[in-house]
Amino acid sequence: MSRAILQVMIRGRVQGVGYRAWVEHQAITSGLEGWVRNRRDGGVEALFAGPPNHVADMVALCRHGPPSSRVDSLTSETAGADELNLRRAGEAFSVLPTV
């Protein structure tokens, strides 16, 4: 089975609206691995790993976000498996501290 790993940057009204918790729930429900974190610049950064169609669906969901958010832009790029090491030990998907 093939596997995709994408790193995503989301900008807009995405902090203080439950965006990270929403991403965590959606990713776990989709069976994805990875992480999500706020950035000091006001954006949210996430990494998704899993079957390519599940990763693509997750990125599409992130373009809309939870009801209280407003996504102005989303960029994604292919990432390496090393990036998964940022997760907390024993977790498939982690909410990480702000960077």
pLDDT digit of tens for each residue in the chain (99 aa)?
A: 689 999 999 999 999 999 999 999 999 999 999 999 999 999 999 999 999 999 999 999 999 999 999 999 999 999 999 999 999 999 999 999 999
Cβ(59)–Cβ(76) under 8 Å? Answer: yes
Cα–Cα dist 27/49, whole Å: 9
Residues 33 and 88: beta-carbon distance below 8 Å: no
pTM of the model: 0.95
Q: What is the pLDDT of residue 75?
A: 98
Return left, alpha or beta for 90; rule: phi > 0 is left, psi -120 to 50 is alpha, else beta: left
pLDDT at 1: 62
Q: For residue 1, give both structure tokens.
A: 């089975």
Q: What is the pLDDT of residue 4?
A: 97
The label of the residue with tokens 């959606």 reads 26
Residue type, 18: G
Domain 4-79 fold is Alpha-Beta Plaits (3.30.70)
**Which amino acids are annotated catalytic?**
20, 38
- Each domain of the chain, given as residue ranges in start order, spans 4-79
